[in-house]
Structure formats: structure tokens, C-alpha cells
Amino acid sequence: MNVRNIFFLVAFAVMTVCMRGEEANPIAGYEGLFDTWGRFNRESAGCVVVIDLTDPADLPKNLARPGGMFRLRSVTDRMTALSGLDCYCFHYTQLKRTSLAKPIVKAIIVRPPSPAKLLSCMAARDEFWAMLRETRTPVIGFCGGFHQIYLAFGGKCGDMRRLAPGEVDPNSSYSPGFLKEWGFTKVRLLKRDPLFDGLGPEIQVLQQHVSECKQLPDQFEVLASSDACWVQVIKHKTHLIYGTQFHPEAYDNDHPDGKRILQNFFRIAGINGKTNR
């Protein structure tokens, strides 16, 4: 049996598990990639939590790629370095709406990968969305995480427009024929906000998307935009919930704006960046 057939069988099995409801475990066999509730429940110091949105069917495929789940661990390592707090990582299917309702959780980070489509494990998705609506812990989501935030409040998403004849596709292996933003691109700030402290009117950040927000719920406002995609940064009007279409976590020495955004978010969340260890 070839690798492609194995991935198909795993995806079918995961889909079946997700449709059974809450008792099944869609990440069975891959629990070691994520933190356990036993360790988390023993925690007494302040911490931040990363929620991973990888479709369970994609876990074996991601592990088979060079570097495996290195990108996941690189995100948690960066969140620890920037916040100064221990960082826990849970898959969204591990969560109930009250799982993170503890005073020690100082911030929640919702990370991709996740297409803008609805998450495949529907019972877990509903609990996750309820958590986003009910939490009063500061939240920020990137790219696929950004989409899930406004979807949880009733928003709508979809693919960007089709490419016009002669337009160049920056990544033809991903949703070929559709407009997409790819690589480090410019984003304009529309409104000043503490999230943008220390930044100019235009930032340069990593984009890797074909999906966009088609309808933003009334509870949110747009803080930044680009020529190709109007909704680049959103903020809830009454709760500390932010979302970015781009990837601020993927900064480097030549493109530090994403790092500044994350530092500002942790400061807004009341985290001083000093280690608790």
C-alpha cells in the first residue's frame, strides 16, 4: 500500500471518528504532540496557551514532511520567549468551552494550519467556538486562527477572486487559479491601536493565504488592510480578541514587525515579558 493510500485511509478514519461525537478521540496515536490536562491542571504559575487547528487527518502527513511538527514547536518556543511564561499547546479537539477558564491562563494564541472551511470535528468545533465567544482571556489568532475567530461569531469566509488572464500565481501548487497573498507583503494600518505601538503606518509581514473574510460580524472592527485583501487585522469591540490574516509569528531579522505585534499583544494582556522561571 503506497503512502497516498495510507493518508486516505487515515483521513477517512478521522472523519468517521469526528462524526461520532464527543466520546471518540480524533487525535488517537498523536497525543504526544500536545500537552496533557494532568500537567496543565497541576500548573500554578501564569502561562499562555497555543491552540492548534491542524485537521486530525493531516497530522500523519505533517509528520511525514521534512521537519515534522517543528513549526508547531517553533511557535510555542517563540510564545514562551516573547511572553516569558510557560506555553502549553492543545489541539482544538482536546478542549471544552471552560477548559481554559483559569486565572493562570494569561493569553490564548490560535494558530494555523487550518483552511478557512469549518473545522472537521464538529462537536469539538462548537465547543471551541463557544470558548472564543465566552472567554475573557486575551486572544489572538493568525491566518487560519483568524478565520476561526470571526466564524465563531457568525462571520463568513471564502476564497479570494480568480486570477485574471495574465496575472501571475505566486504559488500555483496551492489553490491554482486563485488570487492569493504569498511571502512578505505590505499591510496598511487603518486605525491606531496599542497592538501597533512602535510601528509606522505600513508594516511588512508574512502572508500565505487564498481565503479571506467575506463578512465580518458587527462585534469586530477592521484595523488594517492591504491592496489584495481588505480585512487584515480585526479587533473585537468590547473584548480583548484580535485576529491577523497574516503570520506575525513568522518574523525574522529582516522583517521584525510581526515580533513587535506579538510583544504588544502580550503587553496588552498584562504580561511583562519577564520569565517566570
Contact yes or no for 50/106 (Cβ under 8 A): no
- Residue 87 annotated among the catalytic residues of the structure: no
Query: What single letter denotes the amino acid at residue 62?
Result: N
* Cβ neighbour number for residue 80 with a 10 Å cutoff: 17
Residue holding cell 503606518? 201
- Residue 249 annotated among the catalytic residues of the structure: yes
Instruction: Please pick, among 18, 47, 143, 229, the residue that the annotation labels catalytic.
Output: 143
* Cβ neighbour number for residue 177 with a 10 Å cutoff: 12
* Cβ neighbour number for residue 117 with a 10 Å cutoff: 13
CA 251 to the chain's CA centroid: 15
Task: List phi, psi (to 5°) of 155.
Answer: -75, 180
From 119, 104, 110, select the one nearest 58 (Cα to Cα).
119
- Residue 143 annotated among the catalytic residues of the structure: yes
Contact yes or no for 10/120 (Cβ under 8 A): no
Residue 171 sits at the vertex; the CA angle it makes with 170 and 175, to the nearest 5 degrees, is 120
Rg (CA), the chain: 18
Catalytic residues: 143, 247, 249
